[in-house]
Amino acid sequence: MKFLEQIQKHTPVEWKRLGEVANLKRGETITAKNKTEGNIPVISGGQKPAYHTAEYNREGETITIAGSGTAGYVSYWNEPIFVSDAFSVKPNLSILSVRYVFHFLLKHQGWIYNLKRGAGISHVYPKDLANFLIPVPPLRVQQEIVRILDTFTRLIAELTAELTARKKQYAYYREQLLTFKEGEVEWKRLGEIFDLKNGYTPSKSNQGYWKDGTIPWFKMEDIRKNGRVLNKSMQYVNSCAVKDGKLFSANSIIVSTSATIGEHALITVPFLSNQRFTNLSLKSEYTNKFLIKFLFYYGFVLDEWCKNNTTVGNFAGVDMNGFKKFLIPVPPLRVQQEIVRILDKFDTLTTSISEGLPREIELRKKQYAYYREQLLDFPGEKGNE
């Protein structure tokens, strides 16, 4: 890339402290008394707006740095916003492009995170970033760098939007197929049709449990990495780790009922799972009334119920009394078969997209990071790392 070679060798660059070439300004606190409903994003300590209000205190292109929470997180906005538990960075537009500064700050995101200080809730403060050194090439060079890097960020955003749309489409059709009118089908309580057993974690201190294991032991990472229909896990135990000599039976459903709530999976082999899961095995008298795959798909409805019905203790947990009373429809087997057939097709299509698009997104992110590193690697003073 000729442009890359030119900026690395021939571009005149001045290094400036950010506080000299940009206005760093702390946000303002919103209290219950002055909070109003509206559509203006409130930028605070998270990676997304905390909520929305009716007033703004910044407009135009604005870079924000989260003050607490995900302290140091760098964001870019090109709309009116209300900066609260964060601070804004407004570059001097006569010498700096806002998007150029944004990309350069992202290049040093790790360093900015390390500015956190303070007991209890750590913060990043404007005065700490004021000494941050930034190269200031001519504006035309900045604009070309921004053009190249924005090409990658725009493509990443488009791919991410496509992935989100596909998932929403699948969820919509799944909800339609799993919604039954009153009186249309019989309903049974979850605790009536399933045997419920808690998962457990064999002692990590007893290495004999984990040596030469052939029995899959499932945890949340298995669902996150490998999907919701599983026959192998990331960790295995041997028969010594099985309580009372019994395994959870194949074709059972595991539901996360504590900690990370609102996830489930169908396990197609004999298995164990950790204590965050409740294991649902279909009772023998109901095997001729249900397809386990239909119950798996209805598990997405159960997930939403679990998210909205938790109890508070040392950590969040599902209301298990209500869980056992959760109602499950009993449509005729031919109806279940048709629902499964349709959702299997959607699932296959969505899975292929969900596997392909994330790989493409990850590739584009790596390309963006590579070119950002190269394009913003100016000679001279570098005292930020």
**3-state secondary structure labels for all residues of 320-335:** HHHHHHCEEEECCHHH
Which range is least confidently modeled, 228-237, 258-267, 374-383? Answer: 374-383
The dotted CATH code for 15-138 is 3.90.220.20
Structure tokens at 264: 């489930």
DSSP-based three-state secondary structure for 217: strand
Q: Helix crossing, 139-177 with 2-9: angle to 10°?
A: 130
Predicted TM-score (pTM) of the model is 0.67
Same fold, 15-138 and 186-330: yes
Binned at pLDDT 50, 70 and 90, residue 2 comes out as low
Give me the percent of the chain exceeding a pLDDT of 70.
93
Distances (CA, A) of 352 to 160, 231, 284, 347: 15, 19, 35, 8
Domain boundaries, the chain: 15-138, 186-330
Which range is least confidently modeled, 114-123, 253-262, 310-319? Answer: 310-319
Q: Does 322 have pLDDT greater than 90?
A: yes
pLDDT of 117: 86
Q: In sequence order, which residues have a C-beta less than 8 Å from that of residue 194 and are 6 or more positions away?
A: 253, 280, 281, 282, 283
- Residue with the two structure tokens 């537009």: 93
Cα 62 to Cα 76: distance, rounded to the nearest angstrom:
6
The dotted CATH code for 186-330 is 3.90.220.20
Q: Does 61 have pLDDT greater than 60?
A: yes
Cα 273 to Cα 221: distance, rounded to the nearest angstrom:
11
Binned at pLDDT 50, 70 and 90, residue 6 comes out as low
